[in-house]
Amino acid sequence: MAIANPVEVYAASSPQEAQLLKDLLSEAGINAEITEDVTPDGEWMGVSAAPYHSSRMWVDDEMAETAAEILREYEQQRDKKLEAREEAAVHLVEARCEECGQISTFSAALRGTVQECPKCGASMDVGPATDGDWWKADGDVVKL
């Protein structure tokens, strides 16, 4: 199905993303076309450059506004997912098992508690992630 008045609505970063978006638009009854922009591998000013790739999405200009709205929603959801992942990473703490030396990752909510080592099952303290020597300091206190 050819598009009468094609308008570019999106430049996807990969063919996979472009295909996903095309499906998304077709679910909404919008016919989208994808064109691939690929510059061949080559040398530029004596420097070899990686091929540049982008998948452009085209829809009929009558559908452009609706399509743009769907694509905006898609981007927002994608960004939310990325933020959630980054937040989860921030709220993790690493701790080392004194029995087997295994470094494990725990939720930061468990900081300051005693947990089971996932590797050997020994009890281990989950300490603050910021101070790398926290277990040595704790050990000194125990010895006294």
The residue ranges that bind Zn ion (CB under 5 A) are: 97, 99-100, 102, 117, 119-120, 122
∠ CA 90-71-75, rounded to 5° = 5
Give the H/E segment covering residue 136.
Answer: helix 134-143
List the structure tokens of 9.
């609505």
Shortest distance, CB of residue 103 to Zn ion, whole angstroms? 10
Q: What amino acid occupies position 141?
A: V
Shortest distance, CB of residue 129 to Zn ion, whole angstroms? 18
Instruction: CB nearer to Zn ion: give 100 or 137.
Output: 100
* Per-residue 3-state assignment (H helix, E strand, C coil) for 85-97: HHHHHHCEEEEEC
Shortest distance, CB of residue 120 to Zn ion, whole angstroms? 3
Instruction: CB nearer to Zn ion: give 42 or 121.
Output: 121
Instruction: CB nearer to Zn ion: give 88 or 100.
Output: 100
Instruction: CB nearer to Zn ion: give 109 or 122.
Output: 122
Instruction: CB nearer to Zn ion: give 14 or 123.
Output: 123
Q: Are 69 and 28 in contact (CB under 8 A)?
A: no
List the structure tokens of 31.
């016919």
Shortest distance, CB of residue 99 to Zn ion, whole angstroms? 4
Shortest distance, CB of residue 52 to Zn ion, whole angstroms? 48
Give the H/E segment covering residue 141.
Answer: helix 134-143
